[in-house]
Amino acid sequence: MHPERRGWLAVWLSVLLAGPVAALEPLSLIAWSVPGADFGGFSGLNLTDGGQRFWAVSDRGRLVQARIARDAGGRIQAVTLEAMLPLLDNQGQVATGFHGDAEALRLAPDGSLLIAFESYARVARFHLPDLVPVPLNHWDRFQDQWGNEGMESLALSAKGDVITVLERPGMEGSYHTLIYGGGVEWNWGPELATDGAYAAVDADYGPDGQLYLLERSYIWGLGFRTRLSAYQPVEAGFSAPEVLLESDRGQFGNFEGLDVWRDAQGEMRATMISDDNFGAFRSTELAEFLLGR
């Protein structure tokens, strides 16, 4: 049997033979829509203002800011778009196509935005309001990752460490990471253990110092499955993952953006945003889960 067919057969057998997965009950789950051809395709998420606003980026090179309305219990009731801005490429032109596939972002302490891109894989720092990028790597540093399965994640620690996790696990069964070394330097970082059943789509350092990894898997006709795991930094790199959330297949959409933060009551929350791939039969979803103190 062709190796690719054997791989798909293994996937389908795992689906058929797997036991039931406990359904997740998010604190909030809301669909968000705005008229316009450029709305959608969101990846990357960073909440601000105590969970009242967020930044997100899209596959079409758009940076959006939105406001969140919450009820007395902190549950999301509505989302209002406040701004949608085009990102610029390294030549100062509007980033489109191969140059516009923004996948992850983090808000730095100085107010700038760190944004990672797929397709033409790169990381750049953007300052508002002009959004002229300051490249954080040589133009060809990530040429091996050019394409649609590269850097979908970006995490920024309280110490200022920046890490990205490559989307697909390596042959040895772990995720490769890259660590920002300042200027335009990047170095290979510690690997993250995984079981190979998912792909990494975002990462975030939580207020507790752990690295949280958002993963997804997809099977045509059966839908998406979402997993959230926590990795504890240790001397040699990171611990084995602790799985915190794992959805039923098709329970949610294509969650690709993650922010882990602490609310005013001291509870940690994991907020996610989905990529609708600009499809007519998918929607942009925001979900939020309580992770405890």
Q: What is the pLDDT along the chain (293 residues), one digit of tens a residue?
A: 333 333 333 333 333 334 444 445 799 999 999 998 899 999 999 999 999 999 999 999 999 999 999 999 999 999 999 999 999 998 999 999 999 999 999 999 999 999 999 999 999 999 999 899 999 999 999 999 898 777 899 999 999 999 999 999 887 889 999 999 999 999 999 999 999 999 999 999 999 999 999 999 998 888 999 999 999 999 989 999 999 999 999 899 999 999 999 999 999 999 999 999 888 678 899 999 999 87
Q: Which domains does the chain have, with CATH numbers?
A: 28-292 (2.115.10.20)
Q: What is the pLDDT of residue 12?
A: 38
Q: What is the pLDDT of residue 11?
A: 38
pTM of the predicted model as reported, rounded to 2 decimal places: 0.90
pLDDT digits (tens, 9 = 90+) for 206-259: 999 999 999 999 988 889 999 999 999 999 899 999 999 999 998 999 999 999
What would the DSSP string read from start to end of the chain? Answer: --HHHHHHHHHHHHHHHPPP-PPP--SEEEEE--SSTT---EEEEEEEGGGTEEEEEETTSEEEEEEEEE-TT--EEEEEEEEEEE-B-TTSSBP-GGG--EEEEEE-TTS-EEEEETBTTEEEEE-TTT--EEESS-TTTTGGG-BSSSB---EE-TT--EEEEBSS--TTSEE-EEEEEETTEEEE---EE--SSSEEEEEEE-TTSPEEEEEEEEETTTEEEEEEEEE-EETTEE---EEEEEPPTTSS--EEEEEEEE-TTS-EEEEEEE--TT-TT--EEEEEEEEE-
Q: What is the pLDDT of residue 6?
A: 34
